Chain A
Amino acid sequence: MKAKKKEYEDIPGTIVFDADQSRMGYGINMFCMSLLKAENREAFKADEEKYLDQYKLTPEQREAILKRQWIRMLELGGNIYFTSKLGATDGLSFQQVAAKMTGSTQQEYADMMLAGGRPVKGNRRKSEWEKK
């Protein structure tokens, strides 16, 4: 049976954290959640590979975490409010993580926000991105 198409799949550059993504990303998100505790942040920083052994992760998820592939983590079921805790562990703010996801430098991203943000025009549907 083919899964029903979701109406929000058409929004470009957006990975909606729904029940399917959540099911897939349980390990990533629970790992990130553990970083709320200072001692866990220290343990993770001391030996990332060993720390990750505690969590059930696919090889792709593990690689995405170790390489800090922020978009890939979301594609593999991570949620931004969880992965941002990995960002915090690395000393990154929400804005710095967001800048990385858009492929721009922190300064470029901050300038875009100051100038009013990314406009909605041309960013509503995937077809609008394909034309570019």
Chain B
Amino acid sequence: MAKIIAGVGTSHVPAIGAALDNGKTEETYWKRVFSGYEESKRWIAEIKPDVCIVVFNDHATAFSVDVVPTFALGCADEFIPADEGWGPRPVPVVKGHSALAAHIAQSVILDEFDLTVVNKMEVDHGLTVPLSLMFGQPEEWPCKIIPLAVNVVLFPPPTGHRCFALGESIRKAVESYPEDLKVVIFGTGGMSHQISGQRAGLINSKFDKAFLDNLTANPKKLTQMKHVEYMREAGAEGVEMVMWLVMRGALNTNVEEVYRFYTVPASNTAVGNIILENRPAPRAKKAAVVRGKAKPATRAKKVATVRAKAAAPAKKKVAKKAVAKKTVAGKKLTKRARR
């Protein structure tokens, strides 16, 4: 049986892809962003998923204003990285898992989600930047990818509530697929940003942090948030964050937040990254003890892993503060250099 074991939330800022492709990762500005993903890269290299379902949005690349599907599932064997006006990104062709994708499509449509099936789709930075952030620059992507494109360009996007419910339905679909596959689901986009109009440049770190907190512990609260609140509080394009709720809906109610990273800015945008691993629902104390006795070795090992991982973000926080200070210093330097 296929199983979704974890979820990844990440921004998909195009400038991050450009920085990587143009060899700027060692520049102070970009190092601040890329260093935050080192832990995530290690994590996914260890997990070795067979398939990643990547929830993203197309940015007027595969879909013009001729056809705007709300949810479109990529069921092809491969997806070519698109030319978005600056030339295509020099990244590997994205290999799909058409059998699992077709199974998911059929399953969620019968579960009453009117999904669009896409058999040909070029993929833009919305899909390829998260892959680069999590997998680096390999010759081939290390697993199969199923793209799920969500419309967030033409208002209104689907509601957060609907996105979460689709995630739940995708999970049911995956779990009814007979082959043993380890699946990780990505929710991408955001965090706070606005790239259009006179209010461009808006960032709301307080909002973003609360979003991450609730994503882990209280996602149902987020499903009630209206689009206008995302747009007012987190920028017109911040509404992309509804896509993270598809990812969250596909996970257990009980998850362990094993990693979190947040930095401002990458170009116009606040960058966020979170990793959530499925955990069994907490049981009554008595039951837990019994279970603990039954499988002492496994339990002890699991807890240790979690503890080690949980310690990492705390260290990162300190590192991040240091980086933030450096950035300020860097900025002063630039100013001085300009004089």
Chain A: residues with CB nearer than 8 A to chain B? 7-8, 11-19, 22, 25-26, 29-30, 32-33, 35-38, 41, 71, 74, 79-82, 84-85, 87-89, 93-95, 97-99, 101-103, 107, 109, 111-120, 123-125
Contact = CB atoms under 8 A, between A and B. Distances in A.
Contacts of A33: 60, 64-65
Interface in B178-201: 192, 194-201
A18 B151 CA distance: 12
B90 to A, nearest CB: 16
Nearest to A93: B15
A88 B3 CA distance: 41
B84 A85 contact: yes
A98 B201 contact: yes
Contacts of B204: 119-120
19 contacts: A17-B153, A19-B154, A30-B64, A33-B65, A71-B198, A74-B197, A81-B60, A82-B65, A87-B85, A88-B84, A88-B85, A89-B85, A93-B18, A94-B14, A95-B15, A102-B200, A107-B338, A117-B264, A118-B203
B155 A12 contact: no
B159 interface: no
Nearest to B267: A95
A114 B267 contact: no
B199 A13 contact: yes
Contact of B268 (A7, A74, A89, A94): A94
Interface stretch (B138-146, B164-172, B229-237, B313-321): B229-237
Contact of A113 (B64, B228, B236, B268): B268
A115 B156 CA distance: 31
B327 interface: yes
A61 B331 CA distance: 39
The secondary structure that dominates the A interface is: helix
What 8 A-B pairs are tightest by C-beta distance, nearest first? A117-B203, A88-B85, A13-B199, A13-B198, A80-B196, A18-B155, A81-B60, A98-B200
B201 to A, nearest CB: 4
A16 B152 CA distance: 11
The secondary structure that dominates the B interface is: loop
B118 to A, nearest CB: 17
Contacts of B153: 17, 79, 81
Nearest to A95: B267
Give the contact-size bracket for chain B: 35 or more
Interface in B222-267: 227-228, 231-233, 236-237, 264-265, 267
Contacts of A14: 194, 196-197, 199, 231, 236
B127 to A, nearest CB: 14
Contacts of A87: 85
Nearest to B202: A118
Contacts of B331: 111, 114-115
Given A35-B85, A71-B198, A98-B268, A22 B233 contact: no
B203 A116 contact: yes
A57 B268 CA distance: 30
